[in-house]
Every structure is written in structure tokens, then in C-alpha cells.
Structure 1
Amino acid sequence: MVSNIGGGAAKQEFAFSQSDFQQVKGILYKKTGIQLADSKDSMVYSRLARRLRALKLPHFAAYLQYLATHENEEQHFINALTTNLTSFFRESHHFPVLKRYLQEMPNSRRIWCAASSTGEEPYSIAMTVAEMYGRFDVPIEIIASDIDSKVLQTARDGIYPIERIEGLSLEQKKRFFQKGTGSNAGKVRVVPELAKMVSFTQLNLTAKEWQISSPIDVIFCRNVMIYFDKETQIRILERMVSMMSKKGIYVAGHSENFAAAEHVVKLLGKTVYKPVKRSV
């Protein structure tokens, strides 16, 4: 079959028209608030083609009809199109900031990782907290959320290829991970004590209700806002800040800038902000 997307002349397994792509964009925005760029047509094709194969559907038009009539397909659709790029201690400059904040604010009680993906980020937060306190039994609640149910299960399992922890210190590897043996050789698992420090929950940042307790002292929401349009970014940011403690910090990603939201947050350091207004 010949696709009408991305050059038109290339043969594709499934017919995928510009209209199909625009419908996918519209549905994803409505369901999640994520604004796909027009350049993401090839990504949409490759990721959703797996669902067409699994469902034995002949073309994208049939898939879109299936999506509209089968409610349980919605989560598969969202899982396929959400990006989950992460690693342990990614953007490493943020973790000394977290440690220093907890030292200066000993009454801190709650940290929210708002895009946990496969778990590397919230476990990095938990390792930082455990190192700061010198123990696993800490008075800090770490909540990790994501819209993607599949990556959340990976995060809960806490099992990773051993290559994922190559950048950690020897001490961190020994203290926080168990090496797999036998059929699990080449893998590591976070130790149970670390796993217990993090609670994972599915959450859509554009949903009307968030099952997240407040006040929140630290929010990690890194490289997520870039997928929303400006209006949605500000709305989510205002909502998050309204849940934060007065002296809390909001940690953003390297590609995010809230210069247009100075009424909501004020820059403290490298992609670290403090709330300007609050309701709790």
C-alpha cells in the first residue's frame, strides 16, 4: 500500500492518509492535551502500526473506527504515542539541588514525580533521599505518576538491564540494586527497601481530578510540558503550584522555560523554580 504521508511514494504496510494523521492528532490532544507536531507523522505510523497488526486491521481508517467503538483501546493508543525517554540521574544537576533543599527544609514531607516513565527518575529521587537521611525509612512520601500504564508496570517491577546502572557509583550499585542470576542474568532489580519508598499511580495531567495529596514540597515535572500547547502548560502549572507548600520547589526539564509564567513560578536556578502563588 502507498501512504499519503511522508513523501507519498514510499510503500507502506497500511494506508495512512493526511486525514488519518490529523484525526490521530486531534484524538491524542483531546485525551491527553499532548500537541503532536506535523513532523511526527512517521512516528505515529510506526507506533500505531503495531496495534493494527495486533488487531488484524487492514488500514488506519479501520483502526480509528475501532478506537471510537472500543473503549479499552484508548489506553493502548495513549501508551503507543507517549514518549518515555529516561535514565537514572538524568539531568544530574537536579539531584544535589534536591538534597540541599531537604537539608534546608527538614519538615518536607512529600515529593511528586509527575512523569515517572519506567521508574528511573523516581528511583533516582528515592536514592537521593535515602542517601541524605542515611536510611530507607524516611519521613518523605514519594509519589510517582504517569499516563502510560505499561511503563508504570515496568517501574513497579523495578527490573532493568544491567547497562542502565553503569553510570552509578559502585556504592550506589551495591546499596540500591540486586544482580540477577540464572535466567535473570544481565539484569538488576531495585532492592525492596528502595521500592517501598515510591508509590506509583496512573495519572493524566489534563484530567479533571488528580488523586494526589497536598501540600507537595517538591515537584519533578521534567520534559513533559513541551508536549502541551502554551495554554495547557500554564493551566497545568497553575494547578500544580496551587498544591505546593509555600517554600516548595518545581523542577523542570532542560528544554522547558516558564518565562511566560512569571505570575506562577520564579526561576531559582538552572530549570528550578519556586511558586509565586498558592492556595494551600
Structure 2
Amino acid sequence: MTRQVEGSAEAGQWASGNQIERDLILTDADFSRIRELIYQRAGIVLAEHKREMVYSRLAKRLRHHGMTHFAAYLSRLERQPDAKEWEAFTNALTTNLTAFFREAHHFPLLADHVRAKQEPVKIWCAAASTGEEPCSLAMTLLETLGPRAEQARITATDIDTDALSKARAGIYPQEQVRKLDEVRVKRFFQKGAGRHEGLARVRPEVSALIEYMPLNLLAPQWPVKGPFDAIFCRNIMIYFDKTTQAKILERFAPLMKPDGLLFAGHSENFSYISDAFKLRGQTVYTLAKK
């Protein structure tokens, strides 16, 4: 449980690396500062009820640095705007909930959209997390395009660098992979043995289609190049307020081909946020005609 007290004091060194097992001090003011800092840094809106999640995730960072007060940790962050610790802070507060072929109805729609394409297909997966979504996209292209899929490119980005490291490795628990149909498992995964028992790795032909890179959707410049046949931005906009959502959608529009598709998450609705897109079907959008 969080122990709330008045005031704060700095304890420990910034990079001591010691694991100190004791209660950490998170005040109401500290929690407000955390909410403001992650909003400024990543556009993430943390609700009041996320306090315990914030405590448990950031506690690891405080203990890593030998600190006992959140106020001291936050003050160090604010004094060092370019510190590497900002990356760890952001990673800790990023939620990575994903699965292979999540929201499965999107993938046949993508297959139909790219099947007749003559030019190499380009897709941006804007919330790649630990790689299940971009791998699902790559599998769909390989199934749909055959040998032509070798020319396709999937740009997969995420703000969480820890998640991207896992995505690049392409190694997953076998129980997660077994949820796919047997044909896909045999075609697209290698079963681990020995010290890799219980794990599965995506085959090279899958990972060869994907380029992973870190990207903050709030950054003034995006290191991605369109135009894209499709942008998958699913289950990330729910963490932004409507103003931030509108700005991101406006920036997506010029990166899309005229017939490009924008895929959203099941609980996301962009129809009343931006006039750059119009709803085509279930959580799938196209560019609005101007």
C-alpha cells in the first residue's frame, strides 16, 4: 500500500543500483506531478484510479536508484530533461496489452485491400508493443501476396523501448503461439528446444518484412516515410485526450495513400474527433474527400 506523508526528502544516489526494500513515499502532489509529466512527455492521460499502478511500476525505478521519496525522483527527472531515465520512466507507465491477430476481423479486410496492389505494400503499425501485431500483419501479407510479399515493408513503432527489444527478438511463449491455428504455427514459427524449451520464434521470412523503431506520437518529427497503404493505430488513442487524438489524426492523413485504410481499436471512435477521416466499416477509416 502507498504510505502518504507530508513533505519529502531526497534519499540515496541517482545511480546507486541498490535494491532497498522499504516503504516508498508517494504524496498527492507527487502523483499529480507524475500525471503531468507523462502527459507532457507522451500524451498519456492517467486517471485518478491509476495511483496504485503508478506506485507499483515506478517503485522499481526508485529502488533501482536507492531512493525512498517519489518527490526526489521526480525532481531529478525535471532537472535533467535529457537523462536516460526519462526512457525508463515512460516505459514503466506504458501499458502493453496485445496478442497475435487481436481484433481478427481487421486482417481479412487488410488482405482484400492489398491483394490487387501492383506496387510494394507499405504499412505502419504505430503501436507495435512487443511485436505480436506487426508479426500478424507480416503473416497476413505472406499469406495474401505470396512471393510479392518480399517487397512489402512494415514500419513498426512504439514509445516503449523495452517492448521494442522484445519485438525485435521475436520470441514468445509457446502457449501464446498455440492460440493460432496449426497451419500458421507450422508455417511461421520455429519451436524452441533445449534452453529454449517452451518458447517459439517467428521465422526469418516474417521478421524480414518488419522494421522496428522507437517513436513518440507527440514528437514534432516522425521518422517514418509514407505514403502507406494502411496505418494500424489500435488501442493507443484511448490513452490520449481528444485534443491529442485530433492532432495525431491530422498528421496521419498526409502519410496515407488516397485509398489507404486507418485501423482503430474496438473501443476507439474517430468520427467526431477529426474531419480528415470517414468511417468505412467496423473501426476502419478512409481519408475524407476534400
Q: TM over 0.5: same fold?
A: yes
1:256–1:29 Cα change, 3 Å: same
**One-letter code aligned to 1:160:** Y
Cα distance in 2 for partners of 1:247, 1:108 equals 15
Cα distance in 2 for partners of 1:108, 1:196 equals 14
1:264 aligned onto 2:276 = yes
Name the counterpart of 2:249: 237
Further displaced range: 101-110 or 176-185:
101-110
SS of alignment partner, residue 260 of structure 1: coil
Number of aligned pairs? 272
Cα distance in 1 for partners of 2:274, 2:175 equals 40
* CA deviation map 1:122-180 (0-9, x unaligned): 00000000000224753221100000110000000001111111221111111110011
Cα distance in 2 for partners of 1:120, 1:231 equals 29
SS of alignment partner, residue 272 of structure 2: helix
Instruction: Give me the TM-score of the superposition, normalised by structure 2.
Output: 0.90
1:105–1:13 Cα change, 3 Å: same
After TM superposition, the structure 1 = structure 2 runs for residues 101-250 of structure 1, keeping only pairs within 5 Å, are 101-107=113-119, 109-135=121-147, 137-250=149-262
How much is the aligned-residue C-alpha RMSD, in angstroms? 1.7
Q: Quick one: which of 111, 116, 131 aligns to 1:99?
A: 111
SS of alignment partner, residue 52 of structure 2: helix
Cα distance in 1 for partners of 2:286, 2:2 equals 51
Q: Which runs of 5+ in 1 are unaligned?
A: 6-11
1:277–1:55 Cα change, 3 Å: farther
Cα distance in 1 for partners of 2:44, 2:24 equals 24
Further displaced range: 64-73 or 223-232:
64-73
- Give 1:214 deviation, angstroms: 1.3
Runs of 4+ aligned structure 1 residues displaced above 6 Å come to none
Cα distance in 2 for partners of 1:238, 1:105 equals 25
1:31 aligned onto 2:41 = yes
**One-letter code aligned to 1:4:** Q
1:175–1:136 Cα change, 3 Å: farther
SS of alignment partner, residue 107 of structure 1: coil
Name the counterpart of 1:9: none
Name the counterpart of 1:56: 66
1:2–1:258 Cα change, 3 Å: closer
1:102–1:51 Cα change, 3 Å: same
1:16 aligned onto 2:26 = yes
Name the counterpart of 2:96: 84
Q: Which runs of 5+ in 2 are unaligned?
A: 6-21
CA contact (8 A) 1:223 1:254 kept: yes
Instruction: Give me the TM-score of the superposition, normalised by structure 1.
Output: 0.93
**One-letter code aligned to 2:79:** T
Identity %: 47
